[in-house]
Structure 1
Amino acid sequence: MNARIPTTMAAIEIVAAGGPEVLRLARRPTPKPGIGEVLIRVTAAGVNRPDVMQRQGRYPPPPGASDIPGLEVAGVIVGIGENVTSPGVGESVCALVAGGGYAEYCVAPTPQCLPIPRGLDFVQAAGIPETFFTVWTNVFERGRLAAGESFLVHGGSSGIGTTAIQLARARGARVFATAGSPEKCKTCEQLGAERAINYRTEDFVQVVRELTGGRGVDVILDMVGGDYFPRNMDALAVEGRLVQIAFLKGARAEINLMSIMQRRLRVSGSTLRPRSVEEKGAIARAVYKEVWPLIESGQVRPVIHATFPLASAAEAHQLMETGSHIGKIILRVVSTD
């Protein structure tokens, strides 16, 4: 069963690789859900760093994905494809998508849809899928962070960082974070970091080693790359794990193999967008089981810095590129009134 759906919709196009000004509001054909997919009338969509990279021409959508940016949405299901029994039309969901989020309508594979957590609105829910899925699979599945271990996240005030701090703390880890201003460091500590390190004025390796009695941390989640790589190696404990999810300072680094061998360090990394529906569905099920109770109990919450109308996507990207935000930036697509 499908609700009445218009043939065209408002969406944000990337007219050429470039700055935020290349994001333009346009009319596009409303997508149709395929086998195993649902059509979501989008109320809110999250803005993420990969969207900026796509706009710059540095991160093309995977084969078969929409060229419209946007990797996470929240809204109401208005149409279902073949072989879909759940979720159904009229249900409110948030979803991880491979593209197409900056639009009035978006298709999503059913395994990547989750019910909006109790107590959250659409804007808050739109800030969950990309960051919570990323943190879960990298920190707890790849990094295997366990209760009682120590954890360092770089970019602690980002959407990823604010999520990682809360989840690691809620699951019993000792948490440290880096951030670039006293205000951001204060927020990190309010969210659960034992100590936030201002990377502009302090050496995170030295601080982490002092706080751990010279031992180092068990897990590091890094999106900086470049010259942070050898410093991350120095900040890890014996048997420590570094998980790399981005490289804002560059993809190349010098590696001291002897240090890795002697201290039995492990380096891993992943991307989320190109992974299969089956893999993303497995992550979604784990997040629903392990994280949804923490959200619904109030122990963990998406941190929303600012919202913009869909037509102001360029302004949202400008804000993200300043790096001044704390938490998530969200596009309001449909009024919730």
Structure 2
Amino acid sequence: MQAVQFTDHGGTEVIEYGEYPEPEPGDEEVLIDVKAGALNHLDVWTRRGLPGVDLDMPHVPGSDGAGVVERVGEDITRFAPGDRVALAAGVYCGECEYCRHGEHSMCVNYRIIGEHLPGVHGERAAIPAANLVPVPEGVDWETAAAAPLVFQTAWRMLTTRADVSPGEDVLVLGASGGVGHAAVQIADYAGATVYATGGSDEKCAYAEEIGAEHAINYEREDFAEEIRSVTGRRGVDVVVDHVGAETWTDSLASLAKGGRLVTCGATTGHAPETNINRIFWNQLSVLGSTMATAGEIDDALDLVWDGEFEVRIREQLPMSETARAHRMLENREGFGKVVVTPDSELDA
């Protein structure tokens, strides 16, 4: 079969699309005929190389994808050939103290398909049945592939970790990205007044289309100063920051007293300077969040499948052009998710 792969870490030049061994499902796995995959910044970091993560090479990336069940392992009763499914990429042990209490995303042995394990950016993939969710008829493959990782991540950040309430003010940074555009919609759904940042007027307009009350072009304006201005110097109750070092100081400065900063990533760097005085004097909370539990995934995706939340697709490319897809993420081009489709599906 054909699959996206790389044999060494580096720039986009290491990405290839070519022959890869056919996957064989184990007893608790399902063989998927992949109809579409989607990219996340996680794919970029994995390709560049993550400290402490040693991959078996060649590595197939991809933590988002959807397709049709082709074959099931001997122990599988939940799925059957012909079922429509999407990937929920977090793999947990089920045995540690966090798993026993239902907090699977805090599992001490947590791994992610596409990051630590072979991913789904190929024509077929063998996936543990526990990592698949049903996709209803009528949901297109692009939506099914692009929704799971970002919507589950944003859902846990806002509803579980930050516990956003109706009437609160929420600032979402990088609203044009996958997590960002999901977070805008989830905060709006929760009854919050949503503010957002984007790197162009077009991105800001998109953010307002999907639920932001006011969007700030961070290329022209200091977003912390603008937030102080539009909130009467109060600040917001919650900041969603997945950008990292580049925005950290201004994120803290945007918070009202008692505010919460929730983060799931650090695209621009993981070691920012922090004004500790601001944190204790204003009694701020800094909350980390990663992926979601099984129940949270179902809650978020039910709203995607029902059309409450929209998955914006910025570009759909053949998998043979995955290197270009990576560059789009690195260069912050467009609004929403980038989808890649097996070339054989496009030729069919």
Decide: shared fold, TM above 0.5: yes
Deviates more, 1:120-129 or 1:312-321: 312-321
**Local SS of the residue matching 2:338:** strand
Shift of 1:67: 2.5
1:67 to 1:59, Cα distance in 2 relative to 1, 3 A: farther
Deviations 1:266-323 (A, max 9, x none): 1122444xxxxxxx5xx232232x3344324422111001111111111211222221
**1:299 and 1:111 mapped to 2: Cα distance?**
25
Q: Does the CA-based 8 Å contact 1:154-1:222 persist in structure 2?
A: yes
Which residue number corresponds to residue 68 of structure 1? 60
Deviates more, 1:162-171 or 1:138-147: 138-147
Shift of 1:19: 1.8
Q: Count residues in correspondence.
A: 319
- The answer to whether 1:222 aligns with 2:241 is yes
1:66 to 1:195, Cα distance in 2 relative to 1, 3 A: farther
**1:59 and 1:172 mapped to 2: Cα distance?**
39
Q: 2:18 aligns with which of 26, 36, 61?
A: 26
**Local SS of the residue matching 2:243:** coil
Deviates more, 1:186-195 or 1:26-35: 26-35
Which residue number corresponds to residue 199 of structure 2? 180
Deviates more, 1:188-197 or 1:291-300: 291-300
1:137 to 1:123, Cα distance in 2 relative to 1, 3 A: same
**1:214 and 1:158 mapped to 2: Cα distance?**
28
Shift of 1:101: 1.4
**2:58 and 2:257 mapped to 1: Cα distance?**
43
**Local SS of the residue matching 1:335:** helix
Task: Give the letter aligned to residue 345 of structure 2.
Answer: S
Which residue number corresponds to residue 338 of structure 2? 329
Which residue number corresponds to residue 156 of structure 1? 175
Q: Does the CA-based 8 Å contact 1:309-1:331 persist in structure 2?
A: yes
Shift of 1:47: 1.0
- The answer to whether 1:83 aligns with 2:75 is yes
**1:63 and 1:133 mapped to 2: Cα distance?**
25
In the superposition, the TM-score normalised over structure 2's length comes to 0.85
**Local SS of the residue matching 1:29:** coil
Q: Does the CA-based 8 Å contact 1:117-1:295 persist in structure 2?
A: no
Deviates more, 1:137-146 or 1:38-47: 137-146
Q: Does the CA-based 8 Å contact 1:112-1:284 persist in structure 2?
A: no
Shift of 1:66: 8.5
In the superposition, the TM-score normalised over structure 1's length comes to 0.87
Task: Give the letter aligned to residue 19 of structure 2.
Answer: R
Q: 2:49 aligns with which of 53, 57, 63?
A: 57
Which residue number corresponds to residue 137 of structure 1? 156
Which residue number corresponds to residue 200 of structure 1? 219
Task: Give the letter aligned to residue 135 of structure 2.
Answer: I
Deviates more, 1:217-226 or 1:121-130: 217-226
Which residue number corresponds to residue 311 of structure 1? 320
Deviations 1:70-96 (A, max 9, x none): 001100111222432112221101112
**2:15 and 2:257 mapped to 1: Cα distance?**
46
The RMSD of aligned alpha carbons is: 2.2
Identity fraction in percent: 36
Shift of 1:209: 1.8
**2:254 and 2:157 mapped to 1: Cα distance?**
18
**1:261 and 1:19 mapped to 2: Cα distance?**
41
- The answer to whether 1:266 aligns with 2:285 is yes
Task: Give the letter aligned to residue 78 of structure 1.
Answer: E
1:27 to 1:36, Cα distance in 2 relative to 1, 3 A: same
Task: Give the letter aligned to residue 7 of structure 2.
Answer: V
**2:175 and 2:199 mapped to 1: Cα distance?**
9
1:175 to 1:65, Cα distance in 2 relative to 1, 3 A: farther
Q: How does 1:207-246 map to 2 (within 5 A)?
A: 207-246=226-265
Task: Give the letter aligned to residue 286 of structure 1.
Answer: E
Q: How does 1:119-130 map to 2 (within 5 A)?
A: 119-130=138-149
**1:194 and 1:132 mapped to 2: Cα distance?**
20
**2:163 and 2:47 mapped to 1: Cα distance?**
33
Task: Give the letter aligned to residue 322 of structure 2.
Answer: A
Shift of 1:49: 0.8
Shift of 1:186: 0.5
